[in-house]
Structure 1
Amino acid sequence: MLTEVVLASSSPRRTELLQLLGVLHRVYSIPIDETFNKDTSVSSNVVRLAVEKARAVAEQVPHAWVIGADTVVVCDQQVYGKPKDDAAALDMLHALQGREHEVFSGVAVLNSRTFEVQSGFRKVKVKMSSLTESDMLQYIASREPLDKAGAYAIQGKGARWIEWIEGDYYAVVGLPLELTSRLLVASGYIF
């Protein structure tokens, strides 16, 4: 019998989103190699990484539903994860500003007793308005972009430059709630 939900992510945003669903959980994150396989699709990569994150934690936590997630931004077939420094954040903002791009969020719910997994992804189109160099530098100075895929937070200060989205807002934040709920239920979790 499973007794708890464990989030295999140290993202405070994902924790807040699970709290919105009323899912009591604890956080236990184990770093994994997040290298993308260039021979497979972006959607396959985010799902694979979500599963790998959940599996790494499930091996340490018996009797739990373990939730793994991975989010990236794609523009002109270039994949953007979290920037490694200010210069990388600036490069990402230059690439995305004034343009449409896509956000992919993969989710996996793994039963740590049986290692059965339910997984899926959401793809969202986003349009970012044009930014001045000053806008970008001030935004980076706020430190907000440094732990966000694509170097912006739609739920934070970065929202002021998002013209529109087409798809699941929560997928852009980092955890598509409808999908996560459905995967939890398919894994036997009862809300």
Structure 2
Amino acid sequence: MPLQNRVQPTSDILAVPVRGQFMGNRGILHTDDRQLRHVRWRHQAWVCCLTDFKNRKRPLMAPRHYTELFFFDEPVALAAGHRPCGECRRAAYKAFLAAANHAGPIAIFDQKLHQARAVPRTFGQRRAIRHFDDLPDGTFVQMDTGQPALIWQDALFPYQPSGYLPPLTRPKSGETRVLTPGPSLIALREGYQVSPRIVET
């Protein structure tokens, strides 16, 4: 039985067996019996980490330790509101902050990112409305059906918990609901590089 620790572009956390390419952290979200609480974060420093770093090993969802979250790939992590970890992904961390035009304490950036991604008290996700032609590759949008989709190289890849579906034609105009928060959109627009796991399922 899979644990409820797979984060979706909508920021929902599901119990699905798909292996994640990256790991994340939002604090202790689970009970001692490894069940997820209603809360979806305990702090504002939502990071996206490597799944293998310095051979560190830890049991998943151990009592009184942070909840290990997993992402299918980095575009999913960015859409859910996470940013690269400053320890295990130092080069990506520096590149991301530079592309996001941030200089100064990381706590200030985390606060700004949190304001852009999260709805207080409801633990919901903010979803801005933007024009398709203003969105860079690596952005997640929400289609009219409610399904998340990745913008990548003039195509729109619908996403489900097991991965990406075959591509659709990307609209050239019109507005859409965007999942990727504003500070991460700036980083993508200014050249931060991601590599989606685009495999037709």
TM-score, with length taken from structure 1:
0.29
- Which of the pair is proportionally richer in helix? 1
